[in-house]
Amino acid sequence: MLLYLFRRILVMVPTFLGITFISFMVMHLAPGEPMGLQSDFNPKMTPEVRERLRAQYGLDKPLYVQYFRWLKGLVELDLGRSFSPDRRPVWDKIKERLPVTLLINLLSIGLILVVAIPLGVASAVRQNSLFDQVATVTVFVFYAAPAFWVALLLMLLFGVYLGWLPISGLHSLMGYAHMGTWERLLDNARHLFLPVLVSALGGLAGMSRYTRSSMLEVLRQDYIITARAKGLSERRVIYRHALRNALLPLITILGLSIPGLIGGSVIFESLFAIPGVGQLMWTSVMARDYPVLMGNLVIVSVLTLLGNLLADIGYALADPRIRTGTRGE
Amino acid sequence: MRALRSLALIIILILQVISCSYSWGSPHEHPDFGDSIVVGSIGDASTLIPMLASDATSHEIADLIYDGLVKYDKDLNLVGDLAESWDVSPDGLTITFHLRKGVRWEDGVPFTSKDVLFGFHLIVDPKTPTAYAGDFMEVSKAEAPDPYTFRVTYKQPFAPALSSWGNIVVLPRHLLRGKDITKSPLGRRPVGLGPFKLKKWNTQESIELVCNKDYFGGRPYLNGYIMRIIPDPATMFLELKSGGLDWMGLSPMQYQRQTNTRFFRENFHKYKYLSFSYTYLGYNLRNPLFKDKRVRQAISYAIDKEEIIRGVLLGYGVAATGPYKPDAWFYNPNVRRYPYDPQRARELLREAGWVDRNHDGWLDKDGRTFTFTVITNQGNALRDRTAQIIQYRLKQVGIQMKIRTLEWTAFINDFIDKRRFEAVILGWTLGQDPDIYDIWHSSKTGEKQLNFIGYKNPEVDRLLVQGRRTFDREKRKRIYWRIQEILAEDQPYTFLYVPMSLPVIHKRFRGIHPAPAGISYNFIRWWVPKNEQKYIMP
């Protein structure tokens, strides 16, 4: 098992390097340069000034030199400085946006799990019943409806017509500084309610469908019949014996959703005016801010690789068949 | 006659713009201090050091924190700001600024000519990544003979130079000397001397300013200015409706259709004024198709500008006749105009040899059908719709126009910069100075330069240079009037429209008077009566 782990981690290194190399090259293939925003159509921009800026960003060097320079920084854990006019260190820019993105994504995954798993189980137990059909249609409606549209409708309802919830932002503009801890918490919760709800609604379909199908599979197994034959209560059969086994595939899905935790979503963040990672990436792509893009890419790819690994490990821990399988090799 | 009528229309429009400002707020009321204004913005600022910033939001904020030596007043006249006055030497080469005494930076250090000199050295320093060095490269000598005198000498007389001494070059020397400006904390935490001071900046969330009680021009009536960053326009509008915003710019659709409810009438005032921009249809003059002036004039006659303004801007704009907006002092209202006249267009095209010989509905000449592609940038619905209306009108005179929209960077790099286009629909943002050398001079047709349509006219070239050398306003006006006449005759662009800015502002704010300069020129004199104040900020 340890050897297996070690090998897995070793393989991750070249994979990671490959990811960074390809992304670096592809990024530079896109037309335009970081100075574009400053220089395109700016009458005050002379060719000399443009060249000066290029040299400052190091863009006058061949591409491979730029890549190795970046890689050297990475080895020293330095992601470089942003190309945008503020020239802040990349890590600072990403760091200040991580907490809110993480918070929203964790809350929304939590909400998805809390709602989708019972929903999936209930649908599986009452397969093809009216409840099953209504649940299916509902989650797919939320899945299919464009998130921005649902979000705007909810904002209109709760924010404008009813006036119960704030429309955008993370906390109240005025008076937040003078609030007590609980008031602040309540204020934040009111602001986060809609973004978390909207991002969870779209995710319900996938998770509840996975639970349903994996549950259906398990319910057909012999050991379920055995459990029933033993005279266990239906509740015990479903939640103790069936659900535990049905949840195994979900481990993989959860592992793969780890990079999504920091990915953030441009659409939600723009709609709800949330200063998250998604917006940072979007503006960086638009401004061709290569260091920030690469910085985020490093984090996401490390997390993806890590998520894969964790899913495998988690699976092995949860399922004795896999553990014994590796031992038997 | 038609020309006269549209002129009258423009005058009426201008009068409307001006008159709507005087309908409320009696001048005898005594302004109260207090309250804050919450403004919505699509994007966050990038850095608050003006010479490093290139985006509008950064400059909007920096303009409230820093003052320049000179500024524009409401009628676009250059007036003193940190400079009380200035003299231009008779040969036009040297400008001497006499600075205001007793001005202090936020931290109490006096502002002197050394600060300006420092700012100048910084902006011409090759290590400073600024997009604004161009104007300052013309300076041959800058000196600060005493703390309140600043003198610059130019290689050649350069009239736009005067306006370049705005807040771009006013920086606190005592905090920046010997430091790397790109890594300076001042970008995030500026120390200025303007009417407002930065209180808090939450990245991509909000920027909060408080009034500078020691501002040399008198403290602003408002206590605070808060900019909320809301990237989505639909959300911003909902925020406005729920009372979370006091000021935002509206689209024509929102202005006309979505803000006539009782709620809006009771809580908001809508304003409108001509924006500093125009939209045009530009022809690549290297293309044989557009070499003939008559063809360009014919296209201008074939396009109904009023129809575009009605259809695209819902009427919130005026027809453009040249490269300036109609309420600027250098605007020439007497140039040749191109009212919608398809018959005239057909005649001109026939004169130029374009006739439908094979009766397929399209004009042709030497076996070639009159067809071309117009390109425009993606994501600008107004330009897209403009293109469609033009397409329809040109079809009626037998010209086939295809439309292609392109992503911005590809549009610039692969098409405009490489001159791979036949015609283009784009807009220019206007400066407050009439100088348009960079767009129309024949020396500016090189790669990445702005005369990308390749316009060459010796008389315009001469006048453009002359305009830059002349400081006298009346003489400059005559020069730019002539340029407008020539451009109107040549039609290197079909100048389409000048759109209006359509801001909506909460009713409690008084003292807002739209002018050619817009509305924010007297922002520090906006005020709210005590009993209507909403936000209490310490």
Q: For residue range B326-374, what is the model confidence (pLDDT) as tens digits?
A: 988 899 999 999 999 999 999 999 999 999 998 888 999 988 999 999 9
Looking at the structure, tell me whether residues A61 and A149 fall in a common domain: no
- Does A104 lie in the same domain as A56? no
* Of the residues A275, A300, A317, the one at which a domain ends: A275
The pLDDT tens digits for B234-258 are 899 999 998 889 999 999 999 998 8
In a domain, residue A307? The reply is: no
Nearest to B239 among A30, A50, A168 (CB): A168
User: Do A81 and A102 belong together in one domain?
Assistant: no
pLDDT bin (cut points 50, 70, 90) of residue B400 is very high
- Domain presence at residue A104: yes
Name the CATH topology of B196-273+502-532.
D-Maltodextrin-Binding Protein; domain 2 (3.40.190)
The pLDDT score that the predictor gives to residue A39 is 64
Contacts of B53 in chain A (CB under 8 A): 85
The reply to whether A203 and A265 lie within a common domain is yes
Same domain, A65 and A106: no
Is it the case that residue B207 has pLDDT exceeding 90? yes
CATH 3.40.190.10 maps onto chain B at 196-273+502-532
A111 Cβ contact partners less than 8 Å away, ≥ 6 residues apart = A196, A197, A200
Residues 6+ apart with CB under 8 A from A30: A288, B409
pLDDT (average), residues B488-497: 95
Least-confidence region, from B125-134, B350-359, B517-526:
B125-134
Residue A280 lies in a domain: no
Question: How confident is the model at residue B403, as a pLDDT?
Answer: 94
A35 occurs within a structural domain: yes
ipTM of the complex: 0.79
Shared domain check, A89 and A172: no
Nearest CA to B461 among B442, B476, B448, B444?
Answer: B442
Yes or no: say if A159 and A166 are a contact pair by the CB < 8 Å rule. yes
Domain count across chain A: 2
The residues of chain B that CATH labels 3.90.76.10 are 43-187
Amino acid at B237: F
Size of interface A-B (CB pairs under 8 A): 140
In the predicted model, what is the mean pLDDT of residues B127-156? Answer: 89
Phi-psi category of B476—alpha, beta or left, where left has phi over 0 and alpha has psi -120 to 50? Answer: alpha
Same domain, A205 and A107: yes
Where does a domain end: A59, A76, A95?
A95
Please name the residue that has the structure tokens 């854990």: A77
Contact A42 B238 (CB under 8 A): no
Q: Is the confidence at residue A61, as pLDDT, over 70?
A: yes
CB contact under 8 A, B134 and A53: no
A100-104, B233-237, B301-305, range with greatest mean pLDDT? B301-305
pLDDT for A134 equals: 92
**Could you tell me the CA-to-CA distances from A257 to A205, A214, A281, B340 in Å, in that order?**
15, 18, 19, 60
Residues of B in contact with A96 (CB under 8 A): 203
The nearest alpha carbon in chain A to B203 belongs to A275
Closest Cα of chain A to B183: distance in Å?
A: 7
Q: Sign of torsion, CA B446 B450 B455 B457?
A: negative
User: What pLDDT is stored for residue A130 in this prediction?
Assistant: 92
pTM above 0.80, yes or no: yes
> Read out DSSP for B447-503?
TT-S-TT----HHHHHHHHHHHH---HHHHHHHHHHHHHHHHHH-SEEEEEEEEE-E
Q: Answer yes or no: do A31 and A164 share one domain.
A: no
Mean pLDDT to the nearest integer, B395-399: 93
Query: Which residues of chain B form CATH 3.10.105.10?
Result: 277-500
Q: Hey, are the CB atoms on A167 and B126 less than 8 Å from each other?
A: no
From chain A, the residues in CB contact with B127 under 8 A are 56
Q: Which of B197-206, B262-271, B429-438 has the lowest mean pLDDT?
A: B429-438
- The answer to whether the CB atoms of B38 and A173 lie below 8 A apart is yes
Asked: is B277-500 a CATH 3.10.105.10 domain? The reply is yes
Pick the CATH number of B43-187 from 3.90.850.10, 3.30.565.10, 3.90.76.10, 2.70.98.60: 3.90.76.10
H/E segment holding residue B80: strand B78-80
A286 belongs to a structural domain: no
Per-residue pLDDT at A1: 67
Over residues A236-283, the pLDDT tens digits come to 888 888 888 888 888 777 777 777 777 667 788 888 888 888 888 888
Question: What percentage of chain A exceeds 70 in pLDDT?
Answer: 93
pLDDT above 70 as % of chain B: 94
Question: Cβ B38–A169 below 8 Å, yes or no?
Answer: no
Residue range of the domain that includes A163: 98-275
Within a domain: A306? no
* Mean per-residue pLDDT, A129-150: 90
- The per-residue pLDDT for range B8-49, each reduced to its tens digit, is 434 444 434 333 334 444 454 688 998 999 999 988 898 999
CATH assignment of the domain containing A263: 1.10.3720.10
Confidence grade of residue B412 (pLDDT, cut at 50, 70, 90): confident
Q: Highest-confidence range of A17-26, A297-306, B276-285, by mean pLDDT?
A: B276-285
Q: What is the CA radius of gyration of chain A?
A: 25
For strands B371-377 and B423-429, give the pairing.
parallel
Mark yes or no for CB contact A273/B232 under 8 Å: yes
Identify the pLDDT of residue A302. 86
pLDDT above 90 (res B56): no
Both A113 and A225 in a single domain? yes
**Do A76 and A221 sit in the same domain of this protein?**
no
Cα–Cα distance for residue pair B30/A39, rounded to 1 Å: 46
- At residue B178, the pLDDT reads 85
Of the residues A95, A127, A161, the one at which a domain ends: A95
A128 belongs to a structural domain: yes
Q: What is the mean pLDDT of residues A212-218?
A: 89
Q: Is A56 an interface residue toward B (CB < 8 Å)?
A: yes
